[in-house]
Structure 1
């Protein structure tokens, strides 16, 4: 990697708002335990906020209210491949710096760009690390381990983790430098609104896909008798596939907007699922 890319120091008009190589290294190190705080409510949000926090504290150190808003902003739902999480973290750092120094910056772009990257990065990262690198390392390590060679364990760890940490480290600086230069070009060309609109569309597509893939509910209510008998689920799927999960998602979203606690809602859904299965309403 170009050494200049790693040693560049981007300074804003306010000398207090300076992101250095040292700051980005803190982001890299704090990204390592990203999965330790994974949870079902917001998944990687807490780890993401923890990783970006040193940069936020430096950028907004003279404005506690903006620091609070930034921390809340990065506690929103987020999930992607942890091995390349530093790439969006670097871009986020660049966007937060731009937000602190540019009064015309649209702060909603930060969440929009993050969400737009979530799906594509997950597809690339999962395919490479889980689907390729892990299988390769396991194959080589296992072939030696079954012969009683302890080198198999070491080789597995090296084959998987050396590329992982190199990519994680480089992704921090690559994301930051890309984000800084890209934002300036967009501002100069006047294409920022177009980017935001496109990223918002991608983000909605990602959220919709996650709803269809991660929400499971099958109604087991019979309709009709004899050979013509079917189920309510089959009828609804014939009208709009995935209509029932979408309806449940809408109800959960509405309940959260009304102020219901996520934990309370989780237990309520568990009770409904158990009772529905026991009564035969849910398959």
Structure 2
């Protein structure tokens, strides 16, 4: 016998808030290479399960669907948790949804959401915030650090909250916004803004120069390499180092950590050979 409108189970705001906060604070709880975000996901679904299934045996049966491996971008992945809450509510009301259907949905979405989230959040949003913060920190001012902490916390909290409740409200239709044409256009626009900010940070904060000078037998400098380079292309060493880092990471797939280590090695060799001058005095 199908449920009528009066007897249908519905999640209240308090339960949804509890579920969201458990994900926000514990998405990476008990994180391991074997389970990744499985336990954080399961913890966020416990309030949903307890609300929809009063009997303990039904709770145990329902929560079993969330023991499977799960890993995605923690911020954008919030929408998957919201969609799951909506599907779990539909399952408790007798609709044709089972644990395997929920797992198929999660497995199908966690990869694309991770790719979008990593590029949009880690690769675009965070560099934009850091670029603005660096500009505000000139002269040793703490304003930049405060701005970054406050802005990141507010964006992370309210952004994830928005995605969670949109996922719950619209179900799997919410994902079409992220992976559809509108989402692609927004990501492209944000990527352009991010490139502009990173370019501005590069021009303002990166300055590579050489101290190499050739001295004649009379003790006078007859070749100042930096002056010659500036007469050809001002900032050419900065551009060269930038393209070198880009080439390493995009073409050779060298990680950011190894790229930094290579730059340290280049700097040390350059100082020893007299090509760079760190301006240190002992």
- Please classify the TM superposition score into its range, dividing by the shorter chain length: 0.5 to 0.7
Alignment of 1:1-283 (within 5 A): 13=5, 15=7, 17-33=9-25, 34-62=27-55, 64-102=56-94, 104-179=96-171
Work out the CA distance in 1 between the residues paired with 2:39 and 2:33.
Answer: 12
- Residue 186 (structure 1) aligns with: none
In 2, are the aligned partners of 1:133 and 1:159 still within 8 Å (CA)? no
Distance 1:86 1:15, change over 3 A: farther
- Residue 7 (structure 1) aligns with: none
After superposition, give the CA deviation of every residue in 1:204-249 in whole Å (9 maximum; x if it has no partner): xxxxxxxxxxxxxxxxxxxxxxxxxxxxxxxxxxxxxxxxxxxxxx
Distance 1:180 1:67, change over 3 A: farther
Stretches of structure 1 that go unaligned for 5 or more consecutive residues are 1-10, 183-283
Distance 1:104 1:35, change over 3 A: closer
Structure 1 or 2, whichever has the larger Rg, is 2
- The Cα RMSD (Å) is 2.3
In 1, are the aligned partners of 2:22 and 2:43 still within 8 Å (CA)? yes
Deviation at 1:13, TM superposition (A): 4.8
After superposition, give the CA deviation of every residue in 1:38-95 in whole Å (9 maximum; x if it has no partner): 1111100000010111011111113x22211222221210000101232111111111
SS at match of 1:173: helix
Matched pairs, number: 171
In 1, are the aligned partners of 2:19 and 2:47 still within 8 Å (CA)? yes
* TM-score normalised to structure 1 length: 0.55
After superposition, give the CA deviation of every residue in 1:74-119 in whole Å (9 maximum; x if it has no partner): 1210000101232111111111111111164343110001111101
Work out the CA distance in 2 between the residues paired with 1:134 and 1:154.
Answer: 15
Work out the CA distance in 2 between the residues paired with 1:136 and 1:37.
Answer: 30
